[in-house]
Amino acid sequence: MQDFAFYFKLGWQHIISKDALDHQLFILALACVYTIHDLRRVLILVTAFTIGHSLTLALSVYDVIRFSSKWVEFLIPCTIFITAINNLIQIKSAAKSAKINYYLALCFGLIHGMGFANAIRIMLAHDQTIALGLFGFNIGLEMGQTFVVSIILGIGFLFINPLKISRRDWVFFLSSGVFALSVKMALERLPF
């Protein structure tokens, strides 16, 4: 049970820590097109991300795939600004954008998983309980994402309802900010 708790905490911190800005921005870009009434849909969305993330981690631990960390670190902010651009392009039809986000979350989860794969591969490969470690990490990751999504949707509720900010303006403001930050990250992480 100690292994589970260790990896759960690792998964939680992977999303919640101050060093997890890239993951937090990605979740913000995914979730900002939703409202609090869409909580179930958003949770399915972050689960799609976790599935992609987990698949990459598992394949990495078993040494089926390996990627250059320079390229992965560059591709992560690229996934974020692509998601933000998608939000801006689809701003008039948030429901259509939300459907596309399921595919983005799953596919981009694969890339984000590669970012952490090198670090966790060594830990899990030396551990006798790889399955329990991956399970604990994924549950921690999912709980962390659920926490971040809850905050985003709660703040969105306050801005859209009591403060009467239009949903379109909310999505535009957040997606524009996420786009700008992620482009800056990508330029700082150019692999060549």
Q: Give the residue numbers spanning the domain of 97.
A: 39-188
Structure tokens at 23: 């993951």
107 within some domain = yes
Q: How many domains does the chain divide into?
A: 1
117 within some domain = yes
pLDDT recorded at residue 148: 95
Structure tokens at 97: 């954008």
Looking at residue 142, its amino acid is: E
pLDDT recorded at residue 112: 87
pLDDT over 70 percentage in the chain = 91
70 within some domain = yes
Token pair 């969105």: residue: 156
Task: State the pLDDT confidence band at 129, using cuts at 50, 70 and 90.
Answer: low
pLDDT recorded at residue 124: 64
Residue 183 has φ and ψ, to the nearest 5°, of -65, -45
Structure tokens at 130: 């790889």
26 within some domain = no
29 within some domain = no
Predicted structure pTM score: 0.89
183 within some domain = yes
CA nearest to 3, candidates 116, 143, 147, 120: 120
Structure tokens at 54: 């987990």
Residue 33 DSSP code: T
- Residue 94's alpha-carbon distances to 33, 87, 151, 167, 187, in angstroms, are 6, 8, 20, 9, 29
59 within some domain = yes
12 within some domain = no
CA–CA separation, 98 vs 94, rounded Å? Answer: 6
Residue 94 has pLDDT above 70, yes or no: no
Looking at residue 13, its amino acid is: Q
Contact 69, 118 (CB under 8 A): yes
